[in-house]
């Protein structure tokens, strides 16, 4: 037999290479059709959607011998019945001619799919599908499949690059592709006598378009019941001249709240549909093609009874309620009694005479011992499993130890072994305290003694709390009283540094003879004075005069290069000093030297009421400045940042203005957040679109000098971009309000539309044209694109430094320049800067997610925050700008601003399109790519 098969193979090769031209196709086709009907074996195949179709098994030996006889009608040495049958069929067909015309049985032919060969670079293989006329048996005829190619680069005739016979409407093809070519399929059909109709050709297909295809195009058709589970049916778009589906592909799906995913392999068939099976009811899934960059499809699977409407096709319902109690009898303390409620429609309508009816079979209980305090044996016990008949509604378990906590799980099974959802309860036993186990029941005196000691400790604790509260209140009152002092003006001789005279507020000048000529003696006066020399003033409280009661040695503290002293002689003027603190003076003290102190005393840093961030020794490479060299404004809290507060700080020596950032309170959480930001700022290189870091402010804290109590940042006077967006949005939506006194001026060509802000400006300023002739909406939209470019550049800089920001939002982006009119000329020169690095991190495993900020989907699903999370937040950032402050709901369309002219601008469309790219679940652009997008637009 093996020799015969070898001979058949050799003859087949020989016939293919030599006799192709000697045998007529018009005769060879009908001859093969007779052979396949005589010797072909029909087999059934299942499709991707669980339907069946039939096809011939063409690798059968008898058919191969008959086909060989058709191909060699003159070859006589091979004396086999099948071979002779093929020869005779060929001779009979060749001797007869069909004079009648027959209509085509093939309506159309198309390429179903193509696949790139893994072995040869230019080889393609795939499937062809034919559509037959109604009522035609798909196994009645044979087909000659030809692939015809046309090289677009060479003006030449078409060439046949593939030819083979097919015995069903679904045929395989393979050919070598070449660049700049198109191809199409040609089908010739034969029956037992010859051609049927004319050849059918398909459309032309572009090979280069196929090589550029990344994945198939599919859509969800429906959700259906499938073998006691749910299944999702997907359909695939048919091939076009520029799109050909890929034959083999993978579907990845997972539950929305799960991190585990499953991957299923598929091969496209003539149905152009697939079924993703074994889905759980009442669950939400995300599904996508592996390697596809588009957003995954959401598949919401309903309950089984909603999907099919027949409870017999669904698993039994879960137990509705379950309760537990212990046997109170002392003899059976380890018996746990479980009660439950259950109802099934199938059990109520069951036919007792029908033994095959589907009904509830049994309940399955599992009792799991839990780890229990004061009882180490519980975790060593084995779980108890029992199958309980479906007629029971109460059952008793003998547990190994009644002093353990347990978890009881119950599931319902029906006669088809389908399992319901599990119902769980926890049974907690109240154990007495461990020390009570050491006391015998008869030792009443010891028990009473322990109770008395416990009550005494509780009473002592409350007394200590009351004492601390009263002491704190007295200190606060004393501090308020000490702040109330007599304010006078002192006239000082700048040469001799003597007081020439004093004048109380609202009073007259008093000669110096009635005051101490020595300034130090004047300051120990029991009142509080405010001395002013006419040009520069200073406030001094008697609460700090204790600093003058002793003198420090000159070498007590080493001077540190953290700042400058006001001048060589401290009597030129007394600097303004302002303290905002509700703490006692026992905690904070100020080093104030009003005579000529030693340099070491002058270099002592000032005390601050602000919380400590870190010792200066930990950051001694940073530029540092003394607290006493600054004047501070009122503190305020930035929206979206609850860990710190801000102040405007003016360096009176250099005349520079900064923003001081310091902890909101004395909690470790706030202080650690500022310390973390300081760690980031010390290593982050400067960038024009990141808030500049200018150093730290140090002072004395709890009698410890050189402590960092604030961070100096660039003073961004325009406030947050979030406020600016809201202001611009509200003005543009007003649609250009005018006062009744304003004359109605006709619109002229080139005049910008009203911004709506003109109702807040003077009449003289109304009607001003912008120099560039743009309307307010155009200027705002272009400015937003410029802002987006600047912030994307800042993100690129931060990501290159290995840092993730985690709080990319207009709340944390600031405008450099202040503005009175949001549409004035400052808008064209405005610069935005990214700030608030308190939540940033270099280690992705240590990122603390801020729950107040919108978070990307992968973080919600439990994955680590990465740099692409900043890109997602930047997408929400762009949405807020393109919608003029309209809130964005995740997984919904990007909202519009409500201003038609603004929404239709190309720059606004660019913001919206870029936002969509950033909000993708996968394949988001990098910060560099985003920067290039806006750079090209702004050019």
Residue 718 in this model has a pLDDT that exceeds 60: yes
| Percentage of the chain lying above the pLDDT 70 cut | 74
Q: What pLDDT is attached to residue 463?
A: 92
pLDDT band at 19 (very low <50, low <70, confident <90, very high): very low
- Tell me the per-residue pLDDT of 386-430, one tens digit each, with 9 for 90 and over: 999 988 999 998 888 888 889 999 999 998 889 988 999 998 875
Residue 854 has pLDDT above 80, yes or no: yes
**What average pLDDT does range 857-875 have in this prediction?**
90
Q: Does pLDDT of 374 surpass 90?
A: no
Q: Report the relative pairing of strands 335-341 and 321-326 from DSSP bridges.
A: antiparallel
- Asked if the model's pLDDT at residue 556 lies above 60, the reply is no
Residues 134 and 189 grouped into a single domain: yes
Three-class DSSP labels, 182-214: EEEEEEEEECCCCECCCCEECCCEEHHHHHCCC
* Residue 171 confidence (pLDDT) above 90: yes
**Percent of the chain at pLDDT exceeding 90:** 33
Closest Cα to residue 297, out of 256, 237, 239? 256
Its pTM stands at 0.45
Give the model's pLDDT for residue 156.
61
- CATH number of domain containing 393: 2.60.40.10
pLDDT at 164 over 50: yes
Residue 457 belongs to some domain of the structure: no
pLDDT exceeds 60 at position 746: no
Tell whether 492 is covered by a domain: no
- What 3-state DSSP class applies to 336? strand
Going by pLDDT thresholds of 50, 70 and 90, the confidence category of residue 355 is low
The whole-number pLDDT of residue 98 equals 63
- In the chain, the number of structural domains is 6
- At 490 the pLDDT is 55
Helix (H) or strand (E) holding 29: helix 25-39
671 or 550, which is more confident = 671
For residues 98 and 588, what is the distance between their CA atoms, to the nearest angstrom?
116
- CA separation for the pair 106, 101 (Å, rounded): 15
In this structure, the answer to whether residues 755 and 698 fall within a common structural domain is no
CA atoms within 13 A on the CB side of 935: 10
Q: Quick one: angle between helices 776-800 and 721-733, nearest 10?
A: 160
Tell whether 267 and 326 lie within a shared domain.
no
The CATH number assigned to the domain holding 570 equals: 3.30.200.20
Residues 768 and 700 in one domain: no
The pLDDT of residue 609 is above 70: no
Q: What is the mean pLDDT of residues 843-872?
A: 85
Q: Quickly list DSSP for 112-167.
A: EEEEE-SSSTTEEEEEEEEEEPTT--TTS-EEEEEEEEEETTS----EEEEEEEES
Does 691 lie in the same domain as 560?
yes
- pLDDT range class, residue 594, cuts 50, 70, 90: very low
The reply to whether 289 and 389 lie within a common domain is no
Please state, in angstroms and rounded to a whole number, the distance separating the CA atoms of residues 336 and 409.
Answer: 14
Last residue of a domain, one of 62, 95, 128: 95
pLDDT at position 878 is 93
What are the CA-CA distances from residue 309 to residues 220, 304, 312, 313, 418 (Å)?
Answer: 21, 8, 9, 9, 17
Rounded mean pLDDT, 248-269: 91
Q: Which two tokens stand for residue 128?
A: 């062809």
The verdict on 699 and 846 lying in the same domain is: no
By C-alpha distance, which of 146, 145, 147, 215 is closest to 178? Answer: 147
608 plus 580 within the same structural domain: yes
**pLDDT tens profile 825-841:** 667 788 999 999 988 98
pLDDT band at 524 (very low <50, low <70, confident <90, very high): very low
404 is a domain residue: yes
Residues 6+ apart with CB under 8 A from 70: 23, 28, 31, 32, 35, 86, 87, 89, 90
Domain boundary among 406, 433, 460: 433
- In this prediction, residue 560 carries a pLDDT of 36
* Range with the largest mean pLDDT of 238-242, 275-279, 544-548: 275-279
pLDDT of 801 above 60: yes
Together in a domain, 309 and 330: no
User: Would the pLDDT of 885 be above 90?
Assistant: no
pLDDT mean over 286-310: 88
- Mean pLDDT across the chain: 77
Looking at the fold, whether 571 and 703 belong to one and the same domain comes out as: yes
At 447 the three-state DSSP class reads helix
Residue 519, domain member (yes or no): no
H/E stretch holding 387 reads strand 384-389
Is residue 686 in a domain? yes
> What whole-number distance in Å separates Cα of residue 783 and Cα of residue 786?
5
Residues in a beta bridge with 201: 186
User: Who wins on pLDDT, 135 or 575?
Assistant: 135
Looking at the structure, do residues 81 and 111 belong to the same domain, yes or no?
Answer: no
β-strand partners of 411:
364
Q: How confident is the model at residue 570 (pLDDT cuts 50, 70, 90)?
A: very low
Band (231; pLDDT cuts 50, 70, 90):
very high
Does 115 fall in a domain? Answer: yes
In a domain, 675, yes or no: yes
Q: What is the pLDDT of residue 450?
A: 82
Task: Give the pLDDT confidence score for residue 761 in this predicted structure.
Answer: 39
More confident residue, 462 or 444: 462
Task: Select the highest-mean-pLDDT range: 212-216, 610-614, 648-652.
Answer: 648-652
Q: What is the mean pLDDT of residues 849-877?
A: 88
Q: What average pLDDT does the segment 875-898 reach?
A: 84
Whether the Cβ atoms of residue 815 and residue 721 lie closer than 8 Å to each other: yes
Domain CATH for 887:
1.10.510.10
Handedness of CA 278, 279, 280, 282 (dihedral sign): negative
* Per-residue model confidence (pLDDT) at position 100: 58
pLDDT given at position 331: 63
pLDDT single digits (tens) 68-106: 999 888 877 778 889 999 999 999 988 886 655 678 899
What mean pLDDT is predicted for residues 445-464? 86
CB atoms closer than 10 angstroms to residue 466? 9
Domain boundary among 211, 241, 269: 211
Distance CA 871, CA 857 (A): 12
Q: Say how far apart CA 498 and CA 531 lie, in whole Å.
A: 13
pLDDT at 799 over 60: yes
Whether the predicted pLDDT of 726 surpasses 80? yes
The confidence score (pLDDT) of residue 557 equals 31
Is residue 667 domain-shared with residue 768, that is, in the same domain? Answer: no
| pLDDT, average across residues 650-672 | 87
Q: Does residue 82 belong to any structural domain of this protein? A: yes
Q: 843: domain range?
A: 721-740+751-938
Angle at 566 between CA 717 and CA 816, to 5 degrees: 10
Residue 339's pLDDT is what? Answer: 93
Q: What are phi and psi of 730, to 5 degrees?
A: -65, -35
């Amino acid at each position: 037999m093996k020799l015969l098969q070898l001979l058949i193979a050799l003859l087949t090769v020989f016939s293919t290479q030599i006799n192709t031209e000697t045998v007529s196709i018009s005769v060879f086709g009908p001859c093969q059709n007779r052979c396949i009907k005589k010797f072909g074996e029909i087999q059934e195949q299942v499709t991707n959607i669980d339907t069946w179709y039939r096809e011939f098994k063409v690798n059968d030996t008898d058919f191969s011998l008959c086909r060989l006889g058709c191909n060699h009608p003159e070859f006589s040495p091979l004396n086999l019945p099948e071979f002779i049958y093929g020869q005779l069929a060929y001779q009979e067909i060749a001797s007869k001619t069909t004079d009648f015309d027959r209509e085509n049985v093939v309506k159309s032919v198309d390429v179903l799919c193509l696949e790139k060969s893994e072995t040869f670079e230019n080889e393609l293989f795939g499937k062809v599908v034919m559509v037959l006329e109604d009522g035609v048996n798909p196994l009645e005829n044979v087909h000659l499949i030809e692939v015809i190619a046309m090289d677009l680069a060479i003006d030449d005739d078409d060439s046949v690059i593939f030819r083979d016979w097919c015995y069903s409407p679904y045929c395989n093809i393979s050919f070598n592709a070449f660049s700049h070519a198109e191809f199409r399929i040609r089908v010739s059909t034969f029956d037992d006598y010859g051609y049927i109709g004319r050849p059918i050709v398909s459309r032309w297909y572009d090979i280069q378009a196929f090589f550029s295809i990344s994945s198939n195009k599919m859509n969800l058709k429906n959700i259906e019941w499938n073998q006691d589970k749910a299944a999702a049916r997907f359909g695939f778009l048919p091939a076009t001249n520029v799109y050909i589906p890929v034959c083999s592909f993978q579907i990845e799906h997972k539950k929305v709240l799960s991190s585990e995913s499953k991957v299923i392999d598929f091969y496209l068939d003539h149905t152009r549909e697939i079924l993703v099976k074994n889905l759980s009811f009442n669950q939400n899934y995300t599904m996508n093609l592996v390697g596809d960059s588009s957003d995954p499809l959401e598949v919401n699977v309903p309950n089984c009874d909603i999907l099919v409407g027949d409870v017999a096709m669904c698993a039994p319902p879960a137990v509705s309620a379950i309760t537990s109690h212990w046997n109170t009898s002392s003899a059976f303390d380890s018996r746990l009694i479980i009660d439950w409620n259950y109802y099934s429609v199938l059990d109520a309508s069951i036919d007792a005479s029908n033994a095959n009816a589907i009904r509830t079979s049994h309940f399955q209980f599992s009792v799991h011992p839990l780890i229990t305090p004061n009882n180490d044996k519980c975790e060593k016990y084995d779980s108890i499993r029992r199958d309980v008949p479906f007629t029971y509604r109460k059952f008793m378990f003998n547990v190994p130890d009644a002093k353990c906590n347990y978890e009881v799980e119950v599931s319902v099974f029906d006669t088809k072994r389908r399992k319901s959802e599990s119902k769980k309860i926890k049974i907690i036993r109240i154990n007495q305290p461990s020390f009570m186990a050491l006391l015998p029941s008869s030792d009443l005196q010891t028990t009473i003694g322990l109770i008395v000691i416990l009550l005494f400790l509780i009473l002592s604790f409350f007394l200590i709390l009351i004492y601390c509260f009263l002491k704190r209140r007295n200190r606060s009152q004393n501090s308020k009283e000490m702040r109330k002092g007599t304010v006078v003006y002192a006239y000082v001789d700048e040469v001799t540094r003597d007081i020439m005279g004093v004048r109380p507020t609202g009073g007259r000048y008093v000669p110096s003879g009635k005051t101490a000529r020595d300034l130090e003696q004047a300051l120990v006066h029991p009142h509080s004075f405010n001395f002013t020399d006419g040009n520069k003033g200073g406030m001094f409280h008697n609460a700090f005069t204790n600093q003058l009661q002793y003198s420090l040695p000159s070498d007590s503290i080493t001077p540190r290069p953290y700042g400058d002293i006001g001048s060589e002689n401290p009597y030129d003027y007394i600097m303004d000093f302002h303290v905002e603190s509700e703490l006692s003076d026992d905690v904070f003290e100020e080093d104030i030297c009003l005579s000529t102190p030693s340099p070491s005393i002058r270099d002592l840093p000032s005390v601050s009421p602000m919380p400590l961030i870190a010792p200066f020794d930990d950051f001694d490479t940073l530029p540092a400045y003394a607290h006493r060299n600054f004047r501070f404004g009122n503190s305020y809290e930035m929206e979206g940042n609850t860990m710190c507060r801000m102040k405007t700080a003016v360096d009176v020596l250099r005349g520079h203005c900064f923003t001081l950032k310091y902890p909101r309170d004395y909690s470790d959480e706030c202080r650690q957040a500022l310390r973390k930001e300081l760690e980031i700022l010390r290593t982050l290189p400067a960038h024009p679109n990141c808030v500049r870091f200018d150093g730290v402010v140090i002072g004395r804290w709890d009698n410890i000098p050189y402590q960092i109590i604030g961070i100096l940042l660039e003073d961004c006077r325009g406030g947050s971009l979030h406020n600016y967006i809201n202001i611009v949005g509200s003005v543009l939506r007003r649609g250009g309000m005018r006062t009744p006194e304003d004359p109605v001026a006709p619109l002229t060509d080139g005049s910008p539309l009203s911004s709506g802000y003109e109702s807040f400006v003077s009449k003289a300023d109304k009607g001003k044209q912008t120099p560039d002739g743009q309307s307010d909406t155009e200027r705002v939209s272009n400015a937003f694109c410029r802002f987006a470019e600047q912030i994307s550049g800042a993100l690129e800089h931060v990501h290159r430094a290995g840092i993730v920001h985690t709080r990319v939002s207009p709340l944390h982006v600031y405008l450099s320049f202040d503005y009175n009119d949001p549409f004035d000329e400052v808008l064209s020169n405005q610069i935005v800067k990214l700030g608030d690095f308190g939540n940033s991190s270099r280690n992705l495993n240590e990122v603390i997610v801020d729950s107040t900020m919108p978070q990307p989907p992968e973080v919600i699903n439990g994955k680590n925050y990465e740099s692409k999370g900043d890109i997602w937040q930047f997408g929400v950032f762009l949405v807020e700008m393109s919608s003029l402050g309209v809130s964005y709901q995740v997984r919904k369309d990007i909202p519009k601003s409500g201003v038609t002219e603004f929404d239709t601008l190309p720059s606004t469309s660019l913001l919206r399109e870029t936002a969509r790219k950033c909000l993708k679940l996968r394949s988001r652009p990098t910060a560099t790519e985003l920067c290039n997008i806006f750079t090209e637009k702004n050019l």
